[in-house]
Amino acid sequence: MSGEQILFWLFAVTACAGAISVALSQIVVRMAVSLIVCLSSVSALFFLHNADFVGAVQLMVYVGGTIVLLIFGIMLTSSSPFSKIKTSPAEGFLSAGIGALFLSIIAFTVTQVDWKIQSDKVAAAAPVKVSSEGYNAAADGNTARPLALSFLGLRPDQNGQAPGYLLPFEIVSVHLLVVLIGAAYLARTKRRVAPNA
């Protein structure tokens, strides 16, 4: 077993454990901590798959930004310290059963589909000759430059033939600006009008 495989199974187990404890925990702060464990492990899995930039963004934006925002929200909205809002046991069992069924369906699909043949089909249908062996198989991430170029509309990985992502990138930028303004507007403090004024 190579070091990479050991690390993969380590982080896979911590990611799954974090996700399961998010679903099971009743205290909302503990859910946030489990989510941190889960998302950090997922970013480690990104690093193991040579997607170093995506992993770094996951750590910075998700774990360092979104989760801090969520914990901030927990602090602002809990009516008492460590407040619990319980799920009734019946609902819990029902959802656990349906979840197990759902998981078994996905697991069945994952094992039944021959991903190699599918990948070859996609590679054959693509207008540009692409390798069906997978992107960046060498163990050197260094995806920052190809990603940056593809956001600028160039595709170094496909001989420059495929279109880049300049327009989606601009749309996402404008979308973020709109969201920033909208969230600030929604969350502003409202002056309550005195009843007899």
> Rounded CA gap, 160 and 166, in Å?
14
- DSSP-assigned states of every residue in 110-139: HHHS-HHHHHHHHHHHSSS---TT-TT-SS
- At residue 164, what is the residue type? G
CB-neighbour burial class of residue 21 (10 A; exposed 0-12, middle 13-18, buried 19+): middle
Residue 58 in contact with other proteins, rule: CB under 8 A: yes
Paired tokens of 148: 């940056």
Residue 194: CB minimum distance to other proteins, A: 17
Residue 117 in contact with other proteins, rule: CB under 8 A: no
Sign of CA dihedral 56, 62, 68, 69: positive
Smallest Cα–Cα separation from 143: which of 59, 39, 47?
47
Residue from 60, 166, 167, 170 touching other proteins (CB under 8 A): that is: 60
Question: With CB under 8 A, what is the number of residues at the site for other proteins?
Answer: 131
Residue 107 in contact with other proteins, rule: CB under 8 A: yes
Residue 16 in contact with other proteins, rule: CB under 8 A: yes
| Between 76 and 197, CB nearer to other proteins | 76
| Between 112 and 196, CB nearer to other proteins | 112
Which of positions 17-36 make contact with other proteins (CB under 8 A)? 19-20, 22-23, 27-33, 35-36
Residue 95 in contact with other proteins, rule: CB under 8 A: yes
Residue 189: CB minimum distance to other proteins, A: 9
